[in-house]
Amino acid sequence: MEIERGTMRAPELGPEWLNSAPLSTRGLRRSVVLVDFWDYTCVNCLRTLPYLAAWHERYAPTGLVTMGVHTPEFAFAQSRELVEAADESGTE
């Protein structure tokens, strides 16, 4: 597959944001963005959190934007209240 330079566009982000103001792909242009697709019920996702937090702490001052996208595997994990509770307990 050949892609012509400048023709690929990232999809717009959202629709819900929990612990930051909404971000847009236009606002993130020219930024380095680390996107972590996670689920609070996934043990491997939870194991990566200390590394993501360390990278954020170390590189955010130089422009790294760290973003988590909750992608639940099971229907019960789609509850906003449970995601917010996981975020508050430090398992974002």
Q: Chain-wide mean pLDDT for the chain?
A: 84
What is the rounded CA–CA span in Å between residue 56 and residue 20? 14
Say what the pTM is: 0.75
- Within 10 angstroms of residue 77's Cβ, the number of other Cβ atoms is 16
Q: Is residue 60 part of a domain?
A: yes
Q: Is residue 8 part of a domain?
A: no
Residue 49 has pLDDT above 50, yes or no: yes
User: What percent of the chain shows pLDDT beyond 70?
Assistant: 86
Q: Is residue 79 part of a domain?
A: yes
**Tokens 């612990």 map to which residue?**
19
Amino acid at 89: S
Q: pLDDT tens, 18-39?
A: 888 888 888 888 889 999 999 9
Amino acid at 31: S
**H or E, element range at 55:** helix 43-59
Structural domain range at position 70: 37-88
Contacts of 47 (CB under 8 A, 6+ apart): none
* Domains held by the chain: number: 1
